[in-house]
Amino acid sequence: MPRRTRIHLSGLPLHIVQRGHNRDACFFGEDDYLAYRHWLGEALKSTGVRLHSHVLMTNHVHLLLTPLSPETVARMVISLARRYVQHINRTYRRTGTLWDGRYKSSVVEADSYLLLCQRHIELNPVRAGMVADPAHYRWSSYRATAWDSLIRC
């Protein structure tokens, strides 16, 4: 069965999800989260993709982003994933894949859904029972976006 073509359009936000293989962990320690976020920042700068929110869970990643051009999304996500897998394999002396197949992407068409999607992403650690308050989860954009929202009010 052929792969379904992804829809990536300039200026339309996307919800990206990348899961650990067999839903296994893809982050094992604090240094892993820091490395992923660092390389995510580099990838965003080099591609011009705008990141609205993110959460790094133990076994998957959510990114809400808007590309300036359609081809930048795949290039950014794939290069980030490869770099991160190399780090994990080198650090933990392992081989093989870390991610479960291709990343998933969904177009976020309506402005109202953008906010719902952002809320869904940033409340992920609460729903998973990891924290009671999303502000207590360190590997999320919640604190930055919540603070920005308070400043704008």
Sign of CA dihedral 122, 126, 130, 131: positive
Output the pLDDT for position 152: 46
Q: Which fold would CATH assign to domain 14-152?
A: Alpha-Beta Plaits (3.30.70)
The Cα–Cα gap between 153 and 151 comes to 6
% the chain with pLDDT above 70: 90
Relative orientation angle of helices 142-152 and 111-122, to the nearest 10 degrees: 130
C-beta of residue 77 within 8 angstroms of C-beta of residue 18: yes
Domain locations in the chain as residue ranges: 14-152
At 142, the amino acid letter reads Y
Q: And the tokens for 23?
A: 């839903």
pTM of the model: 0.89
For 26-63, what is each residue's pLDDT tens digit? 999 999 999 999 999 999 999 999 999 999 999 999 99
